[in-house]
Amino acid sequence: MRTRITELFGIEHPIVQGGMHFVGLAELTSAVANAGGLGLITALTQPTPAALAAEIARCKTMTDKPFGVNLTFLPARTPPDYPGYVRAIIEGGVKIVETAGNNPQQWLPVLKEAGIKVIHKCTSVRHALKAQEIGCDAVSVDGFECGGHPGEDDVPNFILLPRAAEELEIPFVASGGMADARSLVAALALGADGINMGTRFLATREAPVHENVKQAIVAASELDTRLVMRPLRNTERVLVNAGVERLLDKERRLGADITFADIVSEVGGVYPKVMRGGEMDAGAWSCGMVAGLIHDIPSVKDLMARIVADADTLIRGRLAGMLAA
């Protein structure tokens, strides 16, 4: 399957692995790359630029296919060493970067000078247009269904994707609710050039996370996510658990007076406890509504092969068969 995304990134299938905290390590990134998709190392999971450089080098021993790095720009009183992380990406020879969070404009010149293609994660058409305007090569358009931060507009992908297709000139991938061949074919029909999967890749054999996490996703339905931090305008979709219920109770009790300090025990330092330690009630961790469509824990290779084969069957068989002779 050839799309503008496969052409842009030099990959075989228009399937991108989301940049997930404490998940986007060399094991998963290389597995996705070897299966023909675009795997992404999550830069800020690495504690220092030197650690990111080592992770990039480790990934290169596991695949000779293209892979990228996710670099999220977060507002912080003491920001990460972003110049160091960018330097590690460039010196590591990575040619694809997914940016997220704040506007990446100040980093584009140095990335472009190094021959790096940039895809920016957006939750609205206006943000996608801004990414196009500042020179991003592609965007990832995240609908309201997505795990993590869906923005504050609450527009689902059945509306957001065709709206993006109406406005954008650069290629884009659909993120949020993507799990299988039906997702891929639907996203292409709505105007996207590929899909980005996060939660689905979490539930694979190569995902370097605790087995409890994978089993929790398989056990979950589409009704088992919650939106937290809405009063702080930092909305995040997470899998419900005891820690999340505590957080939501605080939001109900404190209302508009709530601050980040009130919920730090439910959102701070949660990912290592969950992803590495398997402490499923530790607090809020990102998970999409798409968990309701995830029923197994395959290898990345088998998952990708299944998606591509089933997409072919859907397009050539079911959809083509609906056309009148």
Give the CA diameter of the chain. 64
Per-residue pLDDT tens over the stretch 142-174: 999 999 999 999 999 999 999 999 999 999 999
- According to the model, what pLDDT value does residue 260 have? 94
The angle at the Cα of 223, spanning 250 to 149, to the nearest 5 degrees, equals 60
Question: Which pairing describes strands 195-197 and 15-17: parallel, antiparallel, or unpaired?
Answer: parallel
Q: CA-to-CA distance for 182 and 189, rounded, in angstroms?
A: 10
Fold of 4-205: TIM Barrel (3.20.20)
Q: CA-to-CA distance for 44 and 85, rounded, in angstroms?
A: 8
Per-residue pLDDT tens over the stretch 268-281: 999 999 999 999 99
The angle at the Cα of 217, spanning 212 to 223, to the nearest 5 degrees, equals 135
Q: CA-to-CA distance for 131 and 9, rounded, in angstroms?
A: 18
- According to the model, what pLDDT value does residue 189 have? 98
Percentage of the chain beyond pLDDT 90 is: 97
Q: Is the pLDDT of residue 325 over 70?
A: no
The amino acid sitting at 183 is: S
- On whether the CB atoms of residues 254 and 266 are closer than 8 A, the answer is no
Record the pTM.
0.96
Per-residue pLDDT tens over the stretch 291-306: 999 999 999 999 999 9
Cα–Cα separations (whole angstroms), residue 224 to 27, 42, 290: 28, 26, 10
Confidence of residue 77 (pLDDT cuts 50, 70, 90): confident
Per-residue pLDDT tens over the stretch 182-195: 999 999 999 999 99
Query: Helix 242-254 and helix 260-267: axis angle, to 10°?
Result: 170
Two tokens, residue 33: 């790359």
Q: For residue 237, what is the enclosing H or E element?
A: strand 236-239
Residue 97 DSSP symbol: E
Two tokens, residue 198: 């996060």
* Phi and psi angles of residue 46, each rounded to the nearest 5 degrees, phi first: -80, 130
Q: Where are the alpha helices (DSSP H) in the chain?
A: 4-9, 26-34, 49-60, 82-91, 108-113, 125-134, 157-167, 181-189, 199-202, 211-219, 242-254, 260-267, 270-271, 300-313
Per-residue pLDDT tens over the stretch 198-238: 999 999 999 999 999 999 999 999 999 999 999 999 999 99
Q: Is the pLDDT of residue 176 over 80?
A: yes
Per-residue pLDDT tens over the stretch 32-42: 999 999 999 99
